[in-house]
Amino acid sequence: MRICLTGGIACGKSLFARHLKDFGVDSVDADDLVHELVPAEERARLAPVLFADPAARKAHEARLWPQIRMRLNALVGADHRAARPVIAVVPLVYEAGWETDFDFIACLASTPENQLARLMATRGLSERDARARLAAQMPVAEKAARADYVIENNGTAEELREKAKAFAKRFLTGEAAPSPLHNA
C-alpha cells in the first residue's frame, strides 16, 4: 500500500516520521528531496520571494515538482519493494495534485495558533513571516478534511510519539486498520 503523510507547516510531520522510524516504519520526505535539488543558500535566498509572490512560487514548483514526483514514485511507488514499510511525507500532496498517487493519506493537524508559535520558535521567523508562510499553504483543516486519517498534534512530543506508535501498530502492521477520518 502506498501511504502518504501530509499536513500543514509546523504540524510535526518530521517528528512524527522520526517516531515512526523507531517503530519500524521508514519514510521518504519530499522536502528532503527538494533539499537535494536546491542548495541551502539558494533556498534561504528564494524563501522570502516565493512566500511573498504566488506567481514566482508556482513557477518554482512547476520546475521542481515533476522531479520530486518521479523520485518519490521510485522510492515508494507500486514497484518499490522494501523490507520495512515506507511512507511518503508530502506536505503539499493536495496542492501538487498527487493525492491519486497514494492509496491512503494521513494528515497531521495542529491548530493555526500552534503552527504559528512553532514556526516562530523553531525557525526563528517573525510573526509576519510566519503568518505569510501559513497563508501560502492550503489550510491544515482543509487537508484534514480531505485525508483518510487525521492525527491531531496539539500536545507534547511524547504524546505525538504515542500516536506514532499506535499508527504504526494499528495501520502499517495490518493488525487493525483505523477507520477513515478517525482522529488519533
Residue type at position 115: Q
pLDDT at 73: 86
Q: What is the DSSP letter of 178?
A: P
Note whether 123 and 131 are within 8 A (CB): no
Residue closest to 144 by CA, chosen among 2, 1, 13: 13
pLDDT at position 30, please?
96
**pLDDT at residue 181 tops 50:** no
The predicted model scores a pTM of: 0.87
Q: Are 75 and 2 a contacting pair, CB within 8 Å?
A: no
State how many domains the chain has.
1
CA distance 27 to 18: 8
Domain of 139 in residue numbering reads as 3-183
Q: In this predicted model, which residue has the larger pLDDT, 63 or 81? A: 63
Is the pLDDT at 62 greater than 60, yes or no? yes
Residue 74's pLDDT is what?
Answer: 87
| Confidence bin at 81 (pLDDT 50/70/90) | low
32 vs 1, residue with greater confidence: 32
**103-114 average pLDDT score:** 95
pLDDT at site 86: 84
Q: Name 111's Cβ contacts closer than 8 Å, sequence gap at least 6.
A: 154
Q: DSSP string spanning 121-172?
A: HHH---HHHHHHHHHTS--HHHHHHHSSEEEE--S-HHHHHHHHHHHIIIII
Please provide residue 176's backbone torsions phi and psi, each rounded to the nearest 5 degrees: -160, 100
Which CATH number characterizes residue 25's domain? 3.40.50.300
DSSP code for 104: E
Q: Which of 151, 153, 145, 146 is CA-nearest to residue 110?
A: 153
How, if at all, do strands 26-29 and 86-89 pair?
parallel
pLDDT class for 140, splitting at 50, 70, 90? very high
The DSSP output letter for 101 is G
> 171 falls in which pLDDT band (50, 70, 90)?
low
pLDDT of residue 47: 87
